[in-house]
C-alpha cells in the first residue's frame, strides 16, 4: 500500500499508510522510512503526487548515501 500525504486544515500535514500517521519530522524513524521508499520506488511509493518538500528531502538524503 502506498503512502498518502494528508494536508490538515492548519496548513501542515502528515503522511499516512495503513493506520499509521507519520509526522513530517526528520527525527522520526518512520519519516526516514518514507524518504527511503521515495528513493527506492519513486512515484510508486505514493498515492498521488509526492509533495515537493518530501521529494527534496529524499533527494538530499540520496546525495548523502
pLDDT digits (tens, 9 = 90+) for 35-52: 999 999 999 999 999 999
The answer to whether residue 59 is domain-embedded is yes
**Domain ranges, residue 61:** 26-65
Beta partners for 15? 5, 22
Residue 9 lies inside a defined structural domain of this protein: no
| Angle in degrees, CA 46, 23, 1, rounded to 5 | 30
Does 33 map to a domain? yes
Residue 53 has pLDDT above 80, yes or no: yes
- Rounded mean pLDDT of the chain? 94
Query: What is the C-alpha separation between 18 and 57, in angstroms, rounded?
Result: 22
Is 48 domain-assigned?
yes
Amino acid at each position: 500500500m502506498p503512502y498518502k500525504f494528508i494536508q490538515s486544515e492548519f496548513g501542515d500535514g502528515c503522511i499516512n499508510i495503513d493506520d499509521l500517521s507519520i509526522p513530517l519530522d526528520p527525527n522520526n524513524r518512520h519519516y526516514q522510512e518514507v524518504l527511503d521508499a521515495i528513493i527506492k520506488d519513486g512515484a510508486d511509493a505514493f498515492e498521488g503526487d509526492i509533495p515537493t518538500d518530501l521529494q527534496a528531502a529524499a533527494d538530499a538524503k540520496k546525495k548523502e548515501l
